[in-house]
Amino acid sequence: MLVLRLHCVEYNKNRRSKSSDGSWVGWFVNLEVNAFLCRVPYDYIEDKFNLTGLETMVPNFPQALDALLDTEFDTEYGFNPMETDSETTAQLYGLIHARYILSPLGIDKMYMKYKRGDFGFCPRIYCDGQLMLPVGLTDRIGESHVKVYCPRCQDVYQPQDRCAVLDGSMFGSSFPHMFFMQLPHLLPEPPIEKYTPRIYGFKVHKSALVPASTESTASNNNDSNCNNQNTLPSSVDSTQNLRRRFNFTLT
């Protein structure tokens, strides 16, 4: 699993300055690559109801759970790539984390990280630096890395930092939507502005961008839709006519 291998390789150089409490969970959430994760409390992990169904999703479940609950973890050496249990322990923590952040306490913890901008800001200009939340494209382990969701444009993006290698199942596909269901006052208004492609101030008619082979068909279909004075008329909107009309070359 890509994310888990990275943990062991980069452990020493990616430790955060904040010291761990000596537990496996403390060590794991303090890794820089895991900055999107919040800490799941032991009482939540120890409640068997919260682990229902995970026995069949993680190999060596009992050993992985024992390791996860280890309060005297050897932080000097951290993740040992020769121990397969270490990978499954991280998988198990990720699946428990995905459940925990849907609970009221988990949403509170993720809210603190959201408010601090830990998950980044939407790169879309018209979203004006909207805060984002992590999301998985699926709920299954190993299918895709985590993405970040913008509640303003309602689209997903690639995270920009090291957390981009985290497995998306550690957050699940429901998290941001449950978050805003619980905290609806945080849901931003949709963006008002939308980028409009223009050439020399004129809106670019969509038929001007149609490949030559389908140009004539598209032009016929769109003739009746081109009455806007700010849009180039479809009768002159072929690439050749644009060049002739404005005496410039489209590249």
Q: How far is CA 75 from CA 28, 53, 182, in A?
A: 9, 30, 36
| 152 part of the interface to Zn ion, by CB under 5 A | yes
| 127 part of the interface to Zn ion, by CB under 5 A | yes
Mark 106-128 as b/e (b = at least 16 C-beta within 10 Å).
Answer: bbebbbebbeeebbbbbebeebe
**Minimum distance from CB of 195 to Zn ion (Å)?**
12
**Minimum distance from CB of 169 to Zn ion (Å)?**
24
Of all residues in the chain, what percent are helix, strand and coil, respectively (each to 5)? 50, 10, 45
| 7 part of the interface to Zn ion, by CB under 5 A | no
- Dihedral pair phi/psi, residue 147, rounded to 5°: -120, 170
Stretch that binds Zn ion, among 35-43, 95-103, 143-151, 217-225 (CB under 5 A): 143-151
The residue type of 235 is S
Among 65, 146, 150, 218, binds Zn ion (CB under 5 A): 150
Burial of 231 from C-beta contacts in 10 A (0-12 / 13-18 / 19+): middle
**Minimum distance from CB of 241 to Zn ion (Å)?**
36
**Minimum distance from CB of 56 to Zn ion (Å)?**
37
| 153 part of the interface to Zn ion, by CB under 5 A | yes
For Zn ion, give the closer residue by CB, 128 or 143: 128
| 124 part of the interface to Zn ion, by CB under 5 A | yes
For Zn ion, give the closer residue by CB, 26 or 188: 188
Spatial separation of the C-alpha atoms in residues 186 and 108, rounded to whole Å: 13
Identify the residue whose tokens are 């003739």: 223
The binding site for Zn ion (CB under 5 A) comprises 122, 124, 127, 150, 152-153
